[in-house]
Structure 1
Amino acid sequence: MKSIIVFIAVIVSLIPPENPKLTIKISNIEKMQGTIKVGVFNTDKNFLKEGAAIKNYSIIVEKSTAALTITDLPKGHYAVTMYHDENSDHKMNTNFLGIPKEPYGFSNNVKPKMSAPKYEDCKFNLSEDQTLHIKLIN
């Protein structure tokens, strides 16, 4: 009997814990074209650098709001970035000063002033099912 209990305990310990569900609701979409590109970061190292996100998602724009549900992130600290790729060229278009020409947004609805936001400004703790409401900056 003892060996059965130990066996069950070992099997249960091998089952990975269920990831929390992160729902991102996006508003203030002005143009019904292109896609919204979402990046998820889990460290300040290379935050906002192209190709540095640990996860990337894409949403086809059909309405003035959009939603994305993510279920493949374990519990932890994250920051979400996004931009509306209105012309579907797979890059964030900027002017000669580096200021975005396409709408963008960050977790915690951070609105950059004179420079890009920092990871710490956008960081949130994902420990249970959660919904983020992000309003795109146009």
Structure 2
Amino acid sequence: MKLTHALLPLAAALLALPASAVDLQVTVLEGPAAPAMYYLALFDSAEALANNQALLSRKAELRDGTAQLLIRDLPAGRYAIKSFADENGNAKLDTNILGLPTERYGFSNNAIGRMGPPTFDAAAVELDADKRITIRLR
């Protein structure tokens, strides 16, 4: 009986531990052949994506149209990525007069929107363990 009472606080402490952290490896394909910077923004909710409030952002050099990024220690959950290749070096996604991108861009799940960016649900990736994904720029 005493052993059971001694284990209860231990069990409660284990239940209070945060979910384990996971790593996300992102491979980018079909970027420009010329050197360019690749920008990635990670979102943890539909509201964050709609309001452009990234949980984190990263950048990497694209070489021969490809790049790889490793995002470490994310809490398990659902995430969406939006990204682009900065082909002219101004650190932003350029658009034409209609608001359409003039530089290559992409989303996780290679999601495509209708008359705008894809929804969070279309781009969301479930992370419950380390994962590798590929984003093809368009």
What TM-score, normalized to structure 2? Answer: 0.82
For 1:46 and 1:16, the matched residues in 2 are separated by 22
How far has the Cα of 1:32 moved from its partner? Answer: 2.5
Partner AA of 2:31 in structure 1: I
How far has the Cα of 1:49 moved from its partner? Answer: 4.1
Matches within 5 A, 1:55-134: 55-134=56-135
2:23 aligned residue? 21
2:35 aligned residue? 33
Structure 1: runs of 5 or more not aligned: none
Partner AA of 1:43 in structure 2: S
Task: Establish whether residue 54 from structure 1 lines up as the match of residue 55 from structure 2.
Answer: yes
8 Å Cα contact 1:79/1:119 also seen in 2? yes
Partner AA of 2:89 in structure 1: S
Identity of aligned residues (%): 28
8 Å Cα contact 1:37/1:56 also seen in 2? yes
8 Å Cα contact 1:33/1:87 also seen in 2? no
For 1:88 and 1:133, the matched residues in 2 are separated by 23
Q: Which moved more, 1:23-32 or 1:97-106?
A: 23-32
Q: 1:54 to 1:31 in 2, by over 3 A?
A: same
Q: 1:123 to 1:136 in 2, by over 3 A?
A: same
Q: 1:112 to 1:15 in 2, by over 3 A?
A: closer
The structure richer in strand per residue is 2
For 2:18 and 2:120, the matched residues in 1 are separated by 28
For 1:68 and 1:28, the matched residues in 2 are separated by 15
How far has the Cα of 1:91 moved from its partner? Answer: 0.9
Write out per-residue CA displacement over residues 65-120 of structure 1, whole angstroms, 9 at most, x where no aligned residue.
21111113110111011000111211110001110000000011112342221111
Runs of 4+ in 1 over 6 A off after TM superposition: none
8 Å Cα contact 1:39/1:55 also seen in 2? yes
8 Å Cα contact 2:19/2:76 also seen in 1? no
What TM-score, normalized to structure 1? Answer: 0.82
